[in-house]
């Protein structure tokens, strides 16, 4: 993967405004669900503000490989025509680094009778657990061969039967895979989870007219789906709060900063970071709330905060901020005391083992951090003052988190393979340069 970067302490402040690029999770869903709806209605579906990160482009390429056509792709807009989809591909389906592409598309393709394909991925994705989707899809009747629940994975699509599934983990990828399979199965498919994971699949399906219901009972949060008559529509993707998180933390920790971040998705299943900012007593405001394609969106203004309080993250907030934990760990390094992150063992199954990697990474910066099975304990420091050479393990969120900490490191920081940020956020450095104010 592409080049290492070297940063020296940034002695200015961050100021001005940026528009945050489109949400990765919603972009994947706009392509996949857009194709399902186009296939059923026989009409083209327009998607606006699609993420151009490599992960979403992997989903787009896979859909092309199974017969979905895309038209007029420019300025992050395109039209989806899936009338001739979904046919078995001639090539293997390469998901690159993207767990969302792999798990959601396994769900959809498992439900297409006669469909056959092999899923592969990069070095990181091939190590990640896929049993979490293979198990429920197999219970529905899909035939799936894997390398001990890892990639490569062969899918043989079938007429599936509906199930009720109690998911052992709160995972939106697992839930979405089952819902996409359930949409094309006989009967009502129901998924339970103990904590509510991101619900973008549910929001988009409902927005497009699906027979979907959600609720909560003594067994947990549930969602049910059955075959549906869709209405045609346009999907506009809102900005990504997970990308926004890097700028929020940067503005909070760099003296004299004040940044307005526009068009940020604030779906409550994603806003755990706002709760942590409140706990840490960071100075921020939510402005201009509105709804776009069923998703809540707002502008977020963050100001430098001198005394950042230490915080505790555990329990049901975890799925609401799982991808922000690396950059919240960076925030903890400057807090006035000890911060605790627990109940987050699934971090070990992300693009890298994010618990182990963050412990190595923050230690490299000279920060005291103690590894636990399900998280870490971070001791806030007055200063970051150590030359640091960081391994990203091809994990985009680690690369960007280290970048934010490098801005306040008084010594040189070298981040290896920084090009992996293109997975989710190719615009990261450009936007950072836009708000760097060297006069301070």
Interaction of residue 323 with ligand S3P, rule CB under 6 A: yes
Which of 88/345 has CB closer to ligand S3P? 345
Is residue 224 within a helix (H) or strand (E), and if so which, with residue range? strand 220-225
Report in angstroms how near the CB of residue 21 gets to ligand S3P at its nearest.
15
Q: Are 60 and 70 in contact (CB under 8 A)?
A: yes
Which of 22/380 has CB closer to ligand S3P? 22
Q: Are 116 and 158 in contact (CB under 8 A)?
A: no
> How distant, in Å, are the alpha carbons of 77, 169, 319 from that of 273?
29, 20, 11
Report the DSSP beta bridge partners of residue 264: 239, 298
> Is 343 an annotated catalytic residue?
no
* Footprint (CB under 6 A) of ligand S3P, residues 17-76: 25, 28
Number of residues that bind ligand S3P (CB under 6 A): 11
Interaction of residue 101 with ligand S3P, rule CB under 6 A: no
Interaction of residue 100 with ligand S3P, rule CB under 6 A: yes
Binder among 47, 134, 172, 378 for ligand S3P (CB under 6 A): 172
3-state secondary structure of 187: coil
Q: How many CB atoms lie within 10 A of CB 282?
A: 23
Peptide bond into 86 cis (omega under 30): yes
Which of 15/173 has CB closer to ligand S3P? 173
According to DSSP, the β-strands at 93-94 and 69-74 are unpaired
Which of 272/361 has CB closer to ligand S3P? 272
Which of 87/135 has CB closer to ligand S3P? 135
Report in angstroms how near the CB of residue 121 gets to ligand S3P at its nearest.
14
Q: Are 89 and 117 in contact (CB under 8 A)?
A: yes
Interaction of residue 324 with ligand S3P, rule CB under 6 A: no
Sheet holding 338-341, edge to edge: 312-313, 338-341, 375-379, 368-372
Residue with nearest beta carbon to ligand S3P: 25
Q: What's the rounded Cα separation, in Å, for the pair 404 and 369?
A: 17
Interaction of residue 171 with ligand S3P, rule CB under 6 A: yes
Report in angstroms how near the CB of residue 132 gets to ligand S3P at its nearest.
8
Interaction of residue 82 with ligand S3P, rule CB under 6 A: no
Report in angstroms how near the CB of residue 346 gets to ligand S3P at its nearest.
6
Indicate which residue of 323, 346, 395, 417 is catalytic. Answer: 323
Piece of 12-20, 137-145, 166-174, 406-414 that binds ligand S3P (CB under 6 A): 166-174
Q: Are 55 and 24 in contact (CB under 8 A)?
A: yes
* Footprint (CB under 6 A) of ligand S3P, residues 198-227: 198
Peptide bond into 192 cis (omega under 30): no
Q: Are 21 and 425 in contact (CB under 8 A)?
A: yes
* Footprint (CB under 6 A) of ligand S3P, residues 173-202: 173, 176, 197-198
Find how far residue 299's CA is from the centre of its chain.
19
Q: Which one-letter DSSP state was computed for residue 336?
A: S
Interaction of residue 110 with ligand S3P, rule CB under 6 A: no
Interaction of residue 409 with ligand S3P, rule CB under 6 A: no
Interaction of residue 322 with ligand S3P, rule CB under 6 A: yes
Query: Max Cα separation, the chain?
Result: 64
Interaction of residue 122 with ligand S3P, rule CB under 6 A: no
- Chain residues that interact with ligand S3P, rule: CB under 6 A: 25, 28, 100, 171-173, 176, 197-198, 322-323
Which active-site residues does the annotation give? 323
């Amino acid at each position: 993967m592409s080049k290492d970067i070297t940063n020296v302490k940034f002695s200015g402040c961050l100021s001005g405004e940026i528009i945050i690029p489109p949400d990765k999770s919603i972009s994947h869903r706009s392509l996949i669900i857009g194709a399902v709806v186009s296939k059923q209605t026989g009409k083209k579906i327009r998607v606006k503000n699609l993420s151009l990160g490599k992960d979403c482009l992997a989903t787009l390429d896979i859909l092309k490989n199974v017969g979905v056509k895309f038209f007029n792709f420019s300025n992050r807009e395109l039209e989806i025509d899936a009338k001739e989809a979904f046919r078995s591909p001639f090539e293997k389906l390469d998901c690159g680094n993207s767990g969302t592409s792999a798990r959601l598309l396994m769900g959809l393709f498992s439900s297409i009778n006669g469909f056959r394909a092999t899923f592969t991925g990069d070095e990181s994705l091939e190590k990640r657990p896929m049993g979490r989707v293979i198990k429920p899809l197999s219970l529905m009747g899909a035939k799936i061969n894997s390398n001990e629940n890892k990639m490569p994975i062969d899918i043989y699509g079938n007429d599936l039967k509906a199930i009720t599934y109690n998911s052992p983990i709160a995972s939106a990828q697992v839930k979405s895979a089952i819902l996409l399979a359930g949409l094309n199965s006989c009967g009502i498919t129901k998924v339970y989870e103990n904590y509510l994971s991101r619900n973008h699949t549910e929001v988009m399906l409902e927005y497009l007219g699906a027979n979907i219901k959600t609720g909560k009972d003594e067994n947990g949060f549930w969602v049910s789906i059955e075959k549906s008559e869709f209405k045609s529509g346009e999907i506009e993707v809102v900005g990504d709060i997970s990308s926004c998180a890097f700028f929020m933390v940067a503005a909070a920790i760099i003296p004299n900063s004040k940044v307005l971040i526009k068009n940020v998705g604030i779906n409550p299943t994603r806003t755990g970071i706002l709760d942590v900012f409140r706990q840490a007593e960071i100075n921020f405001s939510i402005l201009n709330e509105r709804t776009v394609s069923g998703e809540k969106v707002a502008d977020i203004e963050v100001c430098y905060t001198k005394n950042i309080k230490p915080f505790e993250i555990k329990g049901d907030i975890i799925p609401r901020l799982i991808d922000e934990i690396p950059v919240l760990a960076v925030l903890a390094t400057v807090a006035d005391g000890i911060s605790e992150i627990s109940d987050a063992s699934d971090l070990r199954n992300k693009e890298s083992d994010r618990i182990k990697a963050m412990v190595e990474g923050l230690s490299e910066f000279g920060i005291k951090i103690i590894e636990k099975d399900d998280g870490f304990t971070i001791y806030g420091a007055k200063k970051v003052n150590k030359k640091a050479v960081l391994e990203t393990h091809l994990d985009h969120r680690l690369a960007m988190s280290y970048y934010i900490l490098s801005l306040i490191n008084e010594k040189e920081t070298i981040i290896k393979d920084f090009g992996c940020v293109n997975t989710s956020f190719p615009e990261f450095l450009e936007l950072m340069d836009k708000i760097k104010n060297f006069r301070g």
